[in-house]
Amino acid sequence: MKSRKPYRILALLIAFAVCITSVLVLPLNDVSAASIKKSKKQKQRTASLTLVTKGSGAFDYRSAAGEKLYGYDTLQGACANAGYAYLTLYNRNVENCKIVKVNLSTREVIKVSSPLPVYHANCLTFNTRRNLLVATCCRVKDKRAVFIDPNRLTVTSYKDIQLTRKVKKLPKSVRRKYKGFTAIAYNAQKDCYVGRLRSNNNVIIFDGNLNPKKYVKLKGKQTSLLNQSMDSAGNYIYDVRSFKGKKKYSMVTVHTMSGKLVGKVKFPYGPAPGNELQCIFHDGNQFYAGFYYSTSQIHDFASYHVKRTNTLYYLNNMYR
C-alpha cells in the first residue's frame, strides 16, 4: 500500500494558500469600498470663504454707492472683468436695478448707473470679446437678455430669445414649454453663453452672439433649491442655488459643458455669510460669492425689516 503522506502535505499546502488568499483579498475589498465611499464624499465640499473688506469691516457697496435701504438695496446678479466688478442693486418696489461698478482692489465705486430696465437681473455676465454686460431679466421678461455698455452703464439693446427646431438635441416637449431663462452666463474661453431654462433647469448653449445652438441636460442638478445666477469658465458650468423652505443652505453644482456632474459646493446659512447666495462670479482665477441677508419676518416691505445687507466673499475652493 502506497503512503498517503505526500497527499496530506499537498492538501495542507492548498488549505494554507486558501487562508492566505482570504486574508489578503478581504482587506483589499474593504479598501476598495472605502475608496469608492470617499470618492463619493469628495463630490461635495464646503465653501471656503474670506470676507471682502474695506477698512475695519465688510465692504458695503450699497452704502458706498449712495443708495438707501428700501430702495435700490438688494444684490442680484454680478460679474467681473479686468479688475472691476459690476454689482446689481435691485429695487423690489419698481422691479428694476441699478449697476454699481467697483474697483476690486481698492473697493472704490467708479460709477453707479441710472435705473435700468433689467427687471430682476437674476444674472449678470460680461462678454469679454464684445465688451458687453448682459443681464438676464427673469420674473418679468423671462425670454429677454439686455445688453449694457460697461463704461457708460447704459442699455445699448436687448434680445428676446426664441427656441426653434434648429437647436440641436432640443426635445419638442421642451420647446413647446419654453418660458424663458432664469440665468445666462458667458464663457470667455469658448466664446459662448450658457442659459438655464425656467421650465426644467437644463441649459441651452449659445454662440458668442447669443444664438441658441444646443440643448444640454445637467446631471445631478439641485432642483429642490431656489434658482439664482450662473457662471461659466473653461469647461465648467456653475449653477447657483440658494435656500428654499426647510433646506437652510445654498449650493453650487458644477458641471462640464456636456452636462456631467463634477461636484457640489455647499454654503452655510445665516447672518454670516447670508440667507441667500445670490451669485458667484470670477475675475481671472479668483472666484467671488455674493450674499444677501435680511431679517424679514413676514412680508417684503420696509416696515417688516430690521436690516438688509449685501456681502461679498472671496471663494477659495471652487472647482476649476
CATH number of the CATH domain containing 52: 2.115.10.20
Is residue 31 one of the residues assigned to a domain?
no
pLDDT band at 20 (very low <50, low <70, confident <90, very high): very low
Report pLDDT digits (tens) over 26-75. 332 333 333 334 345 558 999 999 999 999 999 999 999 999 988 999 99
Is residue 57 one of the residues assigned to a domain?
yes
Is residue 257 one of the residues assigned to a domain?
yes
Is residue 202 one of the residues assigned to a domain?
yes
Q: Which domain holds residue 217?
A: 47-315
Query: In the chain, what percentage of residues exceed pLDDT 70?
Result: 83
Confidence (pTM)? 0.86
> What is the pLDDT, as a whole number, of residue 279?
98
pLDDT band at 306 (very low <50, low <70, confident <90, very high): low
Is residue 25 one of the residues assigned to a domain?
no
> What is the pLDDT, as a whole number, of residue 289?
98
Report pLDDT digits (tens) over 204-244. 999 999 999 999 999 999 888 999 999 999 999 999 999 88
Is residue 301 one of the residues assigned to a domain?
yes
Is residue 145 one of the residues assigned to a domain?
yes
For the cut 80, the answer to whether the pLDDT of residue 9 exceeds it is no
SS (H, E, C) the chain: CCCCHHHHHHHHHHHHHHHHHHHHHHHHHHHHHHHHHHHHHCCEEECCEEECEECCEECCHHHHCCCCCCCCCECCCEEEECCEEEEEEEECCCCEEEEEEEECCCCCEEEECCCECCCCCCEEEEECCCCEEEEECCCCCCCEEEEECCCCCCEEEEEECCCCCCCECCCHHHHHCCCCEEEEEEECCCCEEEEEECCCCCEEEEECCCCEEEEECCCCCCCCCEEEEEEEECCEEEEEEECECCECCEEEEEEECCCCEEEEEEECCCCCCCCEEEEEEEECCEEEEEEEEECCCCCCCHHHCCCEEEEEEEECCCCC
For the cut 70, the answer to whether the pLDDT of residue 137 exceeds it is yes
Query: How many domains in the chain?
Result: 1
pLDDT band at 304 (very low <50, low <70, confident <90, very high): low
Is residue 42 one of the residues assigned to a domain?
no
